[in-house]
């Protein structure tokens, strides 16, 4: 059982660090948050946190794609990522301070809404109660899957030996680089969390990642609700609550996204299906609404998808490809302009380019 100090260190890595890094995505005084997020302080904080975490995981994947094929050690990867992560966090803090100072100087700055009607507060409390019960149930009823013998073991091997995807988890023998799994560095990210918190990687995978990732999943659906219920934001907690009930009652197959969310929360396929795909849909929604800056977030989501599973190279690629073609044809038919249709679909390519590069790396591995 980890001590309190170790738990506090893990919480710092999972909550304040991404939130501070998300300061890089705070718009200027004259700018705005995408999708109507600026309407409420809670939505702002969730947006900043999710964007900061996306950037952190993207940076980790970029460093992993450099260090793992070069057969560098976990210690080297940790040093490289620590430096980059600290730099991103400092820049985020500086950006947040700058925006805060600029906002105080501007008389036109609109204060974020904090007050909520009583019924809306009760709906939010019901949502968080449902979230807490689901996270508690997962931790108290840990599901052991056959993939534990590879993914969780790979996290442990990286921590104890320093080898990155060079040892066979079943035998312990050193062999050639496992190119099939080397790109999906989520197990190694769990190792990074374990090394800095002092908590065993298996405990993090099975007990700590569940509350964190399930909460993150609901944060994503809150951001989705902000967009879908732009004019009726008081119904957002009810919308997300219904999503929660849907997840609870959708355990109809071993391979559904909902089943992955509760039985293999720590595994990349669960992260991809329940977090990355909804996030990609959110950024696509923003892009089609004319918010081209969301193309940056789509690119980050693509890299995080690869961090979760190499299958994202073609699965998310198909989704984005269909979205790009659909946007192109719709605009071409509506506007009768090939050039305008091309420009309209171009931001979607921001998400396809990282997947294409990852696919080339995968072939070379």
Band (120; pLDDT cuts 50, 70, 90): confident
Give the least confident one: 31-40, 84-93, 157-166.
31-40
Backbone angles phi and psi of 214, in degrees to 5: -65, -40
pLDDT band (50, 70, 90) for residue 264? confident
Letter string b/e over residues 76-102, b meaning 16 or more CB atoms within 10 A of that residue's CB: ebbebbeeebeebbeebeebbeebeee
pLDDT of residue 250: 82
The number of helix segments (H) and strand segments (E) in the chain equals 18, 0
Query: Could you give the 3-state DSSP secondary structure of residue 40?
Result: strand
Segment 195-203 shows an average pLDDT of 92
3-state SS class at 231: coil
Rounded to an integer, the average pLDDT of 66-73 is: 90
Q: For 40, phi and psi rounded to 5 degrees?
A: -150, 145
């Amino acid at each position: 059982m980890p001590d309190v100090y170790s738990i506090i260190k893990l919480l710092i890595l999972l909550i304040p660090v991404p939130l501070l890094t998300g300061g890089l995505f705070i718009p200027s005084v004259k700018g705005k948050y995408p999708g109507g997020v600026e309407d409420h302080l809670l939505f702002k904080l969730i947006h900043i946190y999710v964007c900061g975490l996306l950037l952190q995981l993207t940076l980790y994947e970029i460093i992993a794609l450099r260090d793992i094929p070069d057969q560098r050690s976990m210690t080297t990867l940790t040093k490289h990522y620590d430096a980059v992560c600290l730099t991103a966090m400092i820049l985020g803090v500086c950006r947040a301070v700058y925006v805060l100072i600029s906002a105080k100087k501007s008389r036109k700055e609109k204060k974020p809404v904090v007050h909520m009607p009583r019924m809306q507060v009760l709906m939010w409390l019901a949502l968080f109660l449902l979230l807490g019960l689901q996270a508690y149930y997962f931790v108290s009823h840990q599901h052991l899957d056959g993939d534990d013998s590879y993914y969780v073991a790979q996290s442990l091997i990286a921590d104890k030996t320093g080898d990155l995807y060079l040892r066979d988890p079943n035998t312990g023998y050193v062999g050639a680089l496992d190119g099939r799994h080397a790109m999906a560095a989520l197990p190694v990210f769990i190792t990074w969390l374990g090394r800095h918190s002092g908590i065993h990687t298996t405990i993090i995978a099975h007990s700590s990642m569940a509350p964190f990732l399930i909460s993150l999943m609901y944060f994503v659906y809150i951001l989705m609700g902000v967009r879908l219920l732009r004019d009726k934001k008081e119904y957002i907690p009810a919308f997300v609550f219904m999503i929660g009930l849907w997840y609870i009652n959708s355990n109809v197959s071993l391979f559904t996204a909902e089943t992955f969310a509760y039985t293999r929360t720590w595994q990349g396929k669960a992260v991809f299906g329940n977090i990355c795909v909804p996030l990609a849909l959110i950024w696509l929604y923003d892009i089609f609404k004319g918010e081209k800056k969301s193309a940056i977030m789509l690119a980050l989501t693509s890299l995080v998808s690869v961090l979760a599973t190499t299958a994202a190279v073609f699965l998310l690629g198909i989704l984005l490809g269909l979205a790009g073609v659909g946007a192109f044809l719709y605009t071409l038919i509506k506007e009768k302009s090939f050039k305008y249709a091309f420009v309209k679909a171009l931001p979607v390519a921001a998400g396809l380019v990282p997947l294409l590069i990852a696919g080339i790396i995968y072939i070379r591995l």
